[in-house]
A and B are shown apart, each in its own frame.
Chain A
């Protein structure tokens, strides 16, 4: 951890703002992403999480502030550009094609080739071997790399997407709500892969609205609310309850819990 602290942060955001017309999507957000750490970005719907990801993944350009990647000031204008400097994003829709095999999906868009001229071909042998190895490193045992990705579970598919990003040289890996569509057990599996990616030296940005998924894996927690940073603290300075309260705005949550508590009490009283 000391080595990572001493080194230049992988990515640094300083007072970044983004406006859509007269709507402020993100206002003066600052943070740093270090190698080998999981930074959790939390917030309710509309808090600015999507805008935050899209600025880093090159979908939107920011309007104010500065973003440094590896100490260099950048202003990304396309996802391709972001990938080229080592920022990979695993979107909610996973970017895998269900009907295609695991190995074909893994190398989609970056296929290794052998041969020359018109005989240049997809190096299938290497592809299958690498898929087995890389998924193995993430702790996934592929039964059969030829099976269609659609037959994998949601967690396994997420893992294939994460392993692919890490293999193709991602230094910063952005995961957009990787656990939101999953059941409790599958979400746990994906959280293990999140940690596995960080242990391989990747700076992981884990976007979620679920503090219970974030807390066990995060090294740093950043909470967004209405486009602003509400909290940005390392793990040893924050508790799970503080995160939950900060996300929903303490007093409001208490009020809500109170109301819901009353309501459920009433409903339980009547036969279903």
Chain B
């Protein structure tokens, strides 16, 4: 029989002291990702010249920013216990709708933005209602939405424009001022992307919601144990539907940003990126089973991926190596998360 050396001493002071700073850190979801980020940064700084410079930083934060905005929303959804495979293609759909509204219909860009966000919210609500009403896994429901949107993006674009892209966005009313807000650069001559600021804002708001509001408490609860949450009066369906809507609207925001930046939108924009968002969230410590994770962690996950996406071409390697890299860090992250979960859930009966 093993002697339980961890048995707490009888006085309260000594017991409190037992929770060391190290133990507390290990309970944080983002700690693994933070160490990973430091390693990846050190690696690319050592093997390339530009990576560690400000110009290099402007480049990898650019890659990380839009990914990060999505990863923050997707991480909240994952903490709430659900997936959204349509999040990537949603970026394309929103960009296309935004493009049609300001070119074909001649709408002012500033009017088109709320319309696109509202449409995305409707798609998110449809995802959420389907999942909650049917009780089917969100994996399957949103896989359906993914193909519906993907087909509609290509089909509708071809019908309206006769090509596979929407062009001529910069001629629209309000384009240049919207571009200033959503797609400009700052910090010349390094030219950091303004999307980085949006990313930081998204992470800050999400962190505040998750850790300091009632809704945040409900998000962790519906992902951790939906039945228990329902028993104590948490509105489970409303919370989850709200998360699907948030994710779809984040997709719309990124879609609008991309459209403003490029001045045109490809019909296949965003397809396949949904996995990048999920990988960023998982690398940042979100559990696939829900109930655990953080927006800061997901942001660090996005940063790691941004560094890899920028660092691999800096090092002169073929960009296809990034998939191998993503696969490896995903597997490592899942192994670390699994250990963390066992630690947190293992009951001492």
Contacts and interface: CB of A to CB of B under 8 A. Distances in A.
B232 A108 contact: yes
Interface stretch (A16-24, A36-44, A87-95, A227-235): A87-95
Given A143-B18, A148-B344, A150-B346, A99 B231 contact: no
- For chain A, what secondary structure do more than half of its interface residues adopt (helix, strand, loop), or is it mixed? loop
Interface stretch (B70-78, B97-105, B213-221): B213-221
Nearest to B222: A97
A149 to B, nearest CB: 9
Given A111-B214, A122-B214, A96 B228 contact: yes
Given A98-B225, A151-B344, A111 B217 contact: yes
B220 A98 contact: no
Given A93-B227, A141-B12, A183-B349, A99 B344 contact: yes
Nearest to B347: A150
Contact of A97 (B208, B224, B341, B348): B224
Given A83-B233, A113-B214, 16 more contacts: A80-B233, A93-B231, A94-B228, A95-B232, A97-B291, A98-B224, A98-B225, A99-B291, A107-B217, A108-B232, A109-B229, A122-B217, A124-B212, A141-B15, A153-B349, A154-B349
Interface in B136-161: none
Contact of B19 (A100, A107, A144): A144
Interface string A122-147: 10100000000000000001011001
Contacts of A143: 8, 12, 15-16, 18-19
A192 interface: no
Closest 4 CB pairs of A and B: A97-B224, A109-B233, A109-B232, A95-B231
Contacts of B208: 121
Nearest to A83: B233
Interface residues on B, range: 20 to 34
B229 A150 contact: no
Nearest to A88: B232
B54 to A, nearest CB: 35
B234 interface: yes
A209 interface: no
A93 B228 contact: yes
A110 interface: yes
Contacts of B216: 122
Given A108-B221, A122-B212, A122-B214, A98 B233 contact: no
A93 B228 CA distance: 7
B318 interface: no
B292 interface: yes
Interface string A147-164: 110111110010000000
Interface in B303-347: 341, 344-347
Contacts of B227: 93
Contacts of B8: 143
Contact of A100 (B213, B231, B291, B347): B291
A9 interface: no
20 contacts: A80-B233, A83-B233, A94-B228, A95-B228, A95-B231, A97-B220, A98-B225, A98-B344, A99-B224, A99-B291, A99-B292, A99-B341, A109-B218, A111-B217, A121-B212, A121-B213, A143-B15, A150-B347, A152-B347, A153-B347
Given A99-B345, A100-B221, A141-B12, A108 B229 contact: yes
B242 to A, nearest CB: 15
Contacts of A120: 213
Contacts of A186: 349
* Contact-residue bracket for chain A: 35 or more
A170 to B, nearest CB: 12
Contacts, number: 102
Contact of A148 (B214, B229, B233, B345): B345
Contacts of A109: 218, 221, 229, 232-234
A91 B344 contact: no
A220 interface: no
Contacts of A169: none
Contacts of A147: 19
A70 interface: no
A171 interface: no
A184 to B, nearest CB: 12
Nearest to B18: A143
Contacts of B18: 143
Given A113-B214, A121-B213, A151 B233 contact: no
Interface in B180-218: 208, 212-214, 216-218
B339 to A, nearest CB: 14
A110 B233 contact: yes
Contacts of B348: 151-153
Contact of B220 (A100, A144, A152): A100
Interface string B276-318: 0000000000000001100000000000000000000000000
Contacts of B27: 148
B21 to A, nearest CB: 13
A144 B16 contact: yes
A91 B213 CA distance: 26
Contacts of A95: 228, 231-232
Given A99-B224, A143-B15, A108 B349 contact: no
A260 to B, nearest CB: 29
Nearest to B227: A93
A104 B217 contact: yes
B182 to A, nearest CB: 22
Interface in B2-31: 8, 12, 15-16, 18-19, 27
A79 interface: yes
A104 B231 contact: no
